[in-house]
Amino acid sequence: MRAMPRRDTGVEIALRRELHRLGVRFRVNFRGLPGTPDIALTKARIAVFVDGCFWHCCPQHGTAPKNNASWWATKLAGNVERDRRKDRELEEIGWVAIHVWEHEDPTAAAAEIHRKWRERLSPPAGQKKYDRPS
């Protein structure tokens, strides 16, 4: 397990490239938040996690090892519970968590993140971008 990369995986790099191409600026492996998001859009308060299918029990591609099955079941269930807990903690401090599976198309995932980014940065209806609240 130590040999598994924890950051800068091919999927993460492809997603970051696409976000950068769309004009979204971000922090990588931002330690100031619960779960240390792989990508943090600090201005919009969006935390992006790129989840591996095996480690986070993907409904499409997640598999259960046959050797030492009970230990692995506990380990993987713990990962899923930790994901839910950190999502709740992020929500409590005003952040949105977005999870991207490793098998997802980086271009499509980046487009969805970009849409959410624009949505969170746009001013409330009826207020211009540079109007100050009274």
Query: Residue 3 domain-assigned?
Result: no
pLDDT at 131 over 80: no
For residue 62, name the pLDDT band (cuts at 50, 70, 90): confident
Higher pLDDT: 82 or 5? It is: 82
> Which tokens hold the place of 24?
């979204």
Lowest mean pLDDT among 16-25, 40-49, 70-79, 85-94: 70-79
Query: What pLDDT score does 49 carry?
Result: 96
Q: Which of 58, 55, 15 is nearest to 39 (CA)?
A: 15
pLDDT at 132 over 80: no
Query: Residue 131 domain-assigned?
Result: no
pLDDT at 71 over 60: yes
- In this structure, the number of other CB atoms found within 10 A of the CB of residue 33 comes to 18
The residues facing 49 across adjacent strands are 99
Query: What pLDDT score does 86 carry?
Result: 97
Query: Which helix (DSSP H) or strand (DSSP E) does residue 112 occupy?
Result: helix 106-121
The residues facing 98 across adjacent strands are 48
Domain of 95, CATH number, reads 3.40.960.10
Looking at the structure of the chain, the number of domains it has is 1
